[in-house]
Structure formats: structure tokens, C-alpha cells
């Protein structure tokens, strides 16, 4: 089967500056992902073996995928994206073949980052259920483990994975040499929400009466994805009101903000 189904490859365009907040996390990813690729010589000189896998966990819509892409952009690495759910839903054997192909292609295209979204689907704790589906997940997991172990000799390949359910992940993936670094990607705090609003209004014409700080204060528990949606909707409201509108105003922001409820609640936060 061809790799074109299920895995896409590109050097992403998104940069660290496109992500609001998360300063420390970006720094950690720079050191764990960008450095081993950009400064491979320095690692070799000091005899440091770079980590092979990073697990990002946290609520949906808080930039796990975007962080992985920004890391690939910063390292100018090819980005292979695979979805755990998609692999899982394929015909028996097809998912494993695709997985192996992705690692092979990543080796050829190195430096590369292989990104797994919803990794919990293929790395769910073993022995949890007796249905035949467990076998599918087990086979995918063992393929993934074999491939990750094989990265020992490969240079410039890193595996990044994302999950909303870190507790569901099989302990085998957490052994040394696999996902050595586990990072929590939290929902944005006030400062981060302000920065996210700045990022997503960067290309918009915003009236002077708009106070993004105030909007950030009034959007507690909103995720980055929801704030991005809010900005888009603000533009739509302005246009619906007047198709020749030149700017978006505070009024538009207030209308949209009041119409939205965040999907997260305080109990979703680790």
C-alpha cells in the first residue's frame, strides 16, 4: 500500500511565534527536538545520545499538533503525520505496513519528525479488553515499538506523539529509549490567551477600541483552538453586519465572546 494514505510529508511552515504562550515548553522542545538535529556534531562530540521520542499530552485544541509542526519547522525536518485512529481503522495488516513505511520514508528523508496524533488508540494498555480489536492495537503497538527501537542507529529522526489520555498509554512506550520526555500542554493562562489572540488577529484589521487583554480576561478556560475560532467568527459577524466593513470592533468581539461557552471545565485540567 502506498504511504500517501494516512501519512503526509512536508516541512511545516508554522513557527514558534505562531504559538501563543507556552514559553518554557517551547524551550524544552527546542532543546529536545531542534538541537539534536541542528547540532548533531555537538551531541556526537560530547557523546550524548539524543532522546528518540516526546509525548505531548493535554486537552484537545491546545496546540500539541502545532507544537510538533513548529519543532519540525525550526529543525527544517520533514514532517510525517500519522493518526492512531486512522491506523487502527485500517484493514488487518495495512496499518502495520503503513507504519513501517512511514519510518522507512522518514529515514530516507532525514532529518525527520514522525508525529502520531491520538497515539493512545494504538498504545492502549494491553490486556484491557478481550475483543479481537485488542489484537489490532497490540500488533500496531508492537510494530511501533520495534520501529522506535530501530531508531537507535538512525540519525536525525524523532518521534513525537500526542494524546488526550496519557493514562491509557501502555507502559512499554515509556521505557528508556522510547518516549523519554513527557510534556503536559496545558490550556492557556491569561498571558497565553492574550498572546493567542494577538497571533490570530495579526492579519485582521482591528479597531482601536478593541482591548485584547480584556478579551483574554473574559475567556477563561477557552482553548487556543476556541480562541482562533472566536477571532474568525468576529470577522464573520462584522461582515454579516456590513459587508463593506473596514475593521472589526470591540462590539463584534463582545457579541461573539458572549455567544461561546468553552468546552473545557476546571475538572479537565491535570
The residue (of 19 and 124) whose beta carbon lies closer to ligand ATP is: 19
Q: To the nearest whole angstrom, how small is the minimum distance from the Cβ of residue 259 to ligand ATP?
A: 19
97-134: b (≥16 Cβ within 10 Å) or e = ebbbbbbebbbebbbbbbbbbbbbbbbbeeeeeeeeee
Contacts with ligand ATP, 207-246, as mask; x by CB under 6 A: -----------------xx--x------------------
Which has the closest alpha carbon to 149: 168, 173, 120, 167?
A: 173
Which has the closest alpha carbon to 186: 21, 31, 28?
A: 21
Q: To the nearest whole angstrom, how small is the minimum distance from the Cβ of residue 117 to ligand ATP?
A: 6
What is the residue-wise DSSP string for 18-52? GS-S-HHHHHHHIIIIIHHHHTHHHHHHHTPPPP-
Q: To the nearest whole angstrom, how small is the minimum distance from the Cβ of residue 235 to ligand ATP?
A: 15
Q: To the nearest whole angstrom, how small is the minimum distance from the Cβ of residue 188 to ligand ATP?
A: 6
When asked if residue 178 is in the footprint of ligand ATP (CB under 6 A), the reply is no
Question: How many whole angstroms separate alpha carbon 159 and alpha carbon 140?
Answer: 15
Of 16-24, 25-33, 128-136, 146-154: span binding ligand ATP (CB under 6 A)? 16-24
Can you give the length of the chain in residues? 270
- How many helices (H) and strands (E) would you count in the chain? 11, 6
**Residue 115 backbone class (left: φ over 0; alpha: ψ -120 to 50; beta: rest):** beta
When asked if residue 117 is in the footprint of ligand ATP (CB under 6 A), the reply is yes
The residue (of 50 and 231) whose beta carbon lies closer to ligand ATP is: 231
Of 5-13, 27-35, 55-63, 170-178: span binding ligand ATP (CB under 6 A)? 55-63
* 253 Cα distance to chain centroid: 27
Q: Binder to ligand ATP among 32, 33, 52, 65 (CB under 6 A)?
A: 65
| Binding residues for ligand ATP restricted to 118-177, rule: CB under 6 A | 162, 164
When asked if residue 113 is in the footprint of ligand ATP (CB under 6 A), the reply is no
Residue closest to ligand ATP, measured at CB: 224
Q: To the nearest whole angstrom, how small is the minimum distance from the Cβ of residue 56 to ligand ATP?
A: 8
When asked if residue 196 is in the footprint of ligand ATP (CB under 6 A), the reply is yes
Question: How many whole angstroms separate alpha carbon 25 and alpha carbon 184?
Answer: 8
When asked if residue 21 is in the footprint of ligand ATP (CB under 6 A), the reply is yes
Taking the CA atoms of residue 176, residue 179, residue 182 and residue 183 in that order, the dihedral angle to the nearest 10 degrees is: 150
- Size of interface with ligand ATP, in residues (CB under 6 A): 20
Question: How many whole angstroms separate alpha carbon 31 and alpha carbon 181?
Answer: 11
Amino acid at each position: 500500500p502506498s504511504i500517501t494514505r494516512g501519512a503526509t510529508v512536508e516541512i511545516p511552515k508554522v513557527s514558534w511565534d505562531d504559538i501563543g504562550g507556552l514559553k518554557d515548553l517551547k524551550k524544552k522542545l527546542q532543546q529536545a527536538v531542534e538541537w539534536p538535529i541542528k547540532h548533531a556534531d555537538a551531541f556526537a562530540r560530547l557523546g550524548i545520545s539524543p532522546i528518540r521520542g516526546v509525548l505531548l499530552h493535554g486537552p484537545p485544541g491546545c496546540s500539541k499538533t502545532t507544537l510538533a509542526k513548529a519543532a519540525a519547522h525550526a529543525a527544517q525536518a520533514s514532517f510525517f503525520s500519522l493518526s492512531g485512529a486512522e491506523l487502527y481503522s485500517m484493514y488487518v495488516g495495512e496499518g502495520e505496513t503503513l507504519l513501517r513505511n512511514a519510518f522507512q520514508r522518514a529515514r530516507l528523508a532525514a532529518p525527520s519528525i514522525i508525529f502520531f496524533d491520538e497515539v493512545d488508540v494504538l498504545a492502549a494498555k494491553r490486556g484491557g479488553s478481550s475483543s479481537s480489536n485488542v489484537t489490532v492495537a497490540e500488533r500496531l503497538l508492537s510494530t511501533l515499538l520495534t520501529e522506535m527501537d530501530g531508531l537507535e542507529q538512525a540519525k536525525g529522526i524523532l518521534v513525537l506523539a500526542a494524546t488526550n489520555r496519557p493514562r491509557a498509554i501502555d507502559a512499554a512506550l515509556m521505557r528508556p529509549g522510547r518516549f523519554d520526555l513527557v510534556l503536559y500542554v496545558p490550556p492557556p493562562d491569561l498571558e497565553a490567551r492574550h498572546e493567542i489572540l494577538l497571533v490570530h488577529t495579526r492579519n485582521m484589521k482591528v479597531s482601536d477600541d478593541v482591548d485584547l487583554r480584556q478579551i483574554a480576561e473574559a475567556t477563561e478556560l477557552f482553548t487556543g483552538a476556541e480562541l482562533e475560532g472566536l477571532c474568525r467568527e468576529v470577522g464573520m459577524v462584522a461582515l454579516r453586519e456590513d459587508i463593506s466593513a473596514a475593521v472589526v470592533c470591540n462590539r463584534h468581539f463582545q457579541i461573539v465572546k458572549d455567544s461561546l461557552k468553552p468546552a473545557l471545565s476546571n475538572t479537565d485540567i491535570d
